[in-house]
Amino acid sequence: MSHRPFAYTLLAATALVAPVHAQTADPDARAAALVGRMTVDEKLSLLHGPMPLPFFGETPMPEGTIPGAGFIPGIARLGVPPLKETDASLGVSWVGGIREDGATALPSGLALAATFDPHLAYQGGAMVGAETRAKGFNVLLAGGVNLVRDPRNGRNFEYLGEDPLLAGTLAGESIRGIQSNRIISTIKHFAFNGNETGRNFHSTNIGEAAGRESDLLAFQLAIERGRPGAVMCAYNRVNDVYACENPALLNDVLKRDWGYKGWVMSDWGAVHSTEALLNGLDQQSGEQLDREPYFGRLLSEAVSGGDARYGARVDDAARRIVRSMISTGLFDDPPQAGGAIDFDAHAQIARRVAERGVVLLKNERDLLPLARTARNIVVIGDQADVGVLSGGGSSQVAGPEGPAATVRVGGENAMGPFSNALYHASSPLAAIKSEAPDATVRFATGRYVSEAVDLAKKADLAIVFVGQWTTEAVDVPDLSLPGNQDALIDAVARANPNTIVVLQTGGPVVMPWLDRVPAVLEAWYSGAKGGEAIADILFGDINPSGRLPVTFPASVDQLPRPKIPGVDLPPTGLVAMGAPRPSFPVDYTIEGSDIGYRWFEARGERPLFPFGFGLSYTDFTYSDLKVEGGDTLTVSFKVANTGDRTGVDVPQVYLSESPDRSQQRLIGFEPVTLTPGESRTVSLIADRRLLANWDVQRAQWSIRAGDYKVFVGGDAGSPILNGQARVRGARLMP
């Protein structure tokens, strides 16, 4: 697709609204000058807008809207374009097919995180951003970076795992990629939105230090790298105060301590008062979902009521919104709908992410890669004849031809009426057939175990696809595969010793059949070309390189909260999103900042598979560790490919002990591609905040002087090289 060159459009725009643009290219000054020329009503008009979808009956949509997630009218008189907002990180969302224009689906966030590759995150973001722009949208509601505190969270597939460094780095790069299209990306959901159960009214409670060292650190790292134009605050309460009117989060942490210059938009149905403006919220999104027009008529009344605090904040909020429009480039070069999209080229980006993100969890007897000599293969289950599974909710994408299959899920929960599992048109069965043209490849749906077992008995190999559909608004009740799939795998594995399981899950699952199954791939939701990517890995065209971005527990009993808080409460309706309900606590003080692998390490628990884990068809060794101290740690070591295939390894460096306590933290990682016999020295410098603790009294990071121990390993549970160095004490600004 082509865009008008920036220099040209800047000139053109300058000619249109010369007095403002001529002043300076500095977004602060330009935004201030623009807001200075706005009437109060114009400023107020920027602070709220509807969800432009035909679900809300009589509300006529303002001119210029595109059916999507959000719309904020522009100010034509001053050349301020309207904000046209669409979801989300994994592609331009499908919104139930209302626009009838599909988009390229990236694999899930966890698949991307499993690549541990910032460069791929950037490329994926740039691709989705280009489609966003081509469809005429200028805000992508992307950047989901909530840490996985509960493997049953229905939205884990949108996020980037359990570690702040990994999630923050990849979210930042994805946002940078999106905004390279001169559009705005959000980062969301700020903050501590770690479960969907009761998300509109539960309170996630956490101490200041634990918060700064975990979820907030992920946001901080991502904001520094990606500079998103907007932050979307979350539905939930944090320490009993709604996240979208939480001054500690919005005014103190985000705007004061981090110096954030963009704006805070609400999540849809997450506003509960007009005072939210004073507490740091700048814009009410999807306003039909809230109970009142808090930032519409009510804010207008508050401003004309004469409370000067409202007037000043309206100026500030309008300035922040316009500033982000200017700093990202959309002000000077607004997208036009109808841009060309090269779907084939974009699908290749989705395919690359899938190929790199699939995790090989088990491979006994080197069953994989599959021998091309196999004569009889049976493929079983999970709609593998038509496509690959995707996750549900606002982030749902469907390809240009629409979904390949739609399976109704339903349920009493808020999303019940919209709960359909969609499959992307990328058939693993077809891809397997084309990899093994001389084999007889049969397919069984998996609905009848006896049928699958019968075919498995007659085959050389059985490849069982299983799916765990997850969606926004609903957590999964446990970590099992739904339906009869665990029993199906078990029966097939008993019938055929060469059984390979391909998991298509939103996040971790338990595997009661693991001992009986020689090979397991975690394919996540693998996106537009998932079927081809999975087949490439099964047959060895691609050497698997994914590493788990999230710990796979052996059972829910190992979790900080074995029972999901609020799970026994009656279900809520979708339209009642903004309605007040009694809150209930989700106690994050249990694990604090020790999320995932840190929790398992601190408790001495053994997971099913550790964070960072993933096998390859080749072997890697590590040697020559050097750890230098000083202001931070510089860790270098040699990685060698000692096997006989080219492969990508992801060596990881963990802090294992600091002067005052033993604790595990990922402080560096790097994907390295090596040919057989090749070796490379990797050198990583730790971000000092990863060595520090948050000092609540002084409101600063504090590094204690002393010896810091580290290890290099292929996952969080297996130290291979150990070292240490002395680090100077320091205090760092927030």
Nearer to ligand BGC among residue 193 and residue 658 (C-beta): 193
- Amino acid identity of 156? N
Min separation Cβ 167 and ligand BGC, Å: 16
Nearer to ligand BGC among residue 76 and residue 98 (C-beta): 98
Length of the chain: 734
Min separation Cβ 156 and ligand BGC, Å: 13
Contacts of 265 (CB under 8 A, 6+ apart): 70, 186, 230, 231, 232, 233, 282, 283, 285
Nearer to ligand BGC among residue 71 and residue 268 (C-beta): 268
d(CA 409, CA 403): 15
Please give the backbone phi and psi of residue 78, each rounded to the nearest 5 degrees, phi first: -110, 10
| DSSP conformational letter for 308 | H
Min separation Cβ 519 and ligand BGC, Å: 36
Nearer to ligand BGC among residue 20 and residue 141 (C-beta): 141
Nearest to 543 by CA among 416, 434, 647: 647
Min separation Cβ 115 and ligand BGC, Å: 23
Look up tokens 């979904």; give the residue: 403
First to last CA, the chain: 41
Nearer to ligand BGC among residue 394 and residue 656 (C-beta): 394
Min separation Cβ 13 and ligand BGC, Å: 29
Work out whether 84 is an interface residue with ligand BGC (CB under 6 A): no
Cβ atoms within 10 Å of 722's Cβ, excluding its own: 13
Exposure letters 616-636 (e unless 16+ CB within 10 A, then b): bbbebebeebebebeebbbbb
Nearer to ligand BGC among residue 300 and residue 394 (C-beta): 394
d(CA 127, CA 180): 10
Min separation Cβ 152 and ligand BGC, Å: 17
Radius of gyration of the chain (CA): 25
Q: Which of 45, 82, 87, 544 binds ligand BGC (CB under 6 A)?
A: 87
- Amino acid identity of 198? G
Min separation Cβ 624 and ligand BGC, Å: 45
Nearer to ligand BGC among residue 67 and residue 719 (C-beta): 67
Kindly identify the residues of this chain, within the stretch 198-237, that bind ligand BGC according to CB under 6 A. none
Burial of 5 (C-beta count, 10 Å sphere; 0-12/13-18/19+):
exposed
Work out whether 470 is an interface residue with ligand BGC (CB under 6 A): no
Q: Which of 111, 141, 500, 703 binds ligand BGC (CB under 6 A)?
A: 141
- Residue 580: strand, helix, or coil: coil
Nearer to ligand BGC among residue 268 and residue 513 (C-beta): 268
Work out whether 394 is an interface residue with ligand BGC (CB under 6 A): yes
3-state DSSP helix/strand/coil percent for the chain, to nearest 5? 30, 25, 45
Nearer to ligand BGC among residue 393 and residue 566 (C-beta): 393
Work out whether 188 is an interface residue with ligand BGC (CB under 6 A): yes
Min separation Cβ 307 and ligand BGC, Å: 30
Work out whether 69 is an interface residue with ligand BGC (CB under 6 A): yes
Min separation Cβ 378 and ligand BGC, Å: 40
Nearer to ligand BGC among residue 49 and residue 369 (C-beta): 49
Kindly identify the residues of this chain, within the stretch 24-43, that bind ligand BGC according to CB under 6 A. none
Nearer to ligand BGC among residue 33 and residue 53 (C-beta): 53
Q: What angle do CA 529, 533, 534 make, to 5 degrees?
A: 120
Min separation Cβ 704 and ligand BGC, Å: 38
How many amino acids of this chain bind ligand BGC (CB under 6 A)?
8
Kindly identify the residues of this chain, within the stretch 660-679, that bind ligand BGC according to CB under 6 A. none
Min separation Cβ 189 and ligand BGC, Å: 6
Work out whether 145 is an interface residue with ligand BGC (CB under 6 A): no
Nearer to ligand BGC among residue 131 and residue 332 (C-beta): 131
The stretches of 46-194 forming alpha helices (DSSP H) are: 109-115, 118-134, 164-179
Min separation Cβ 52 and ligand BGC, Å: 11
Work out whether 415 is an interface residue with ligand BGC (CB under 6 A): no
Kindly identify the residues of this chain, within the stretch 255-314, that bind ligand BGC according to CB under 6 A. 267-268
Contacts of 207 (CB under 8 A, 6+ apart): 589, 592, 696
Contacts of 138 (CB under 8 A, 6+ apart): 81, 83, 84, 85, 132, 183, 184, 325, 330, 334, 335
- The β-bridge partners of 711 are 654, 722
Min separation Cβ 267 and ligand BGC, Å: 5
Nearest to 251 by CA among 309, 294, 164: 309
Nearer to ligand BGC among residue 141 and residue 388 (C-beta): 141
Contact between 278 and 40 (Cβ < 8 Å): no
d(CA 551, CA 127): 29
Question: 607 is written with which tokens?
Answer: 């997971």
Contact between 715 and 613 (Cβ < 8 Å): yes
Contact between 24 and 261 (Cβ < 8 Å): no
Instruction: Using CB under 6 A, list all residues that contact ligand BGC.
Output: 69, 87-88, 141, 188, 267-268, 394
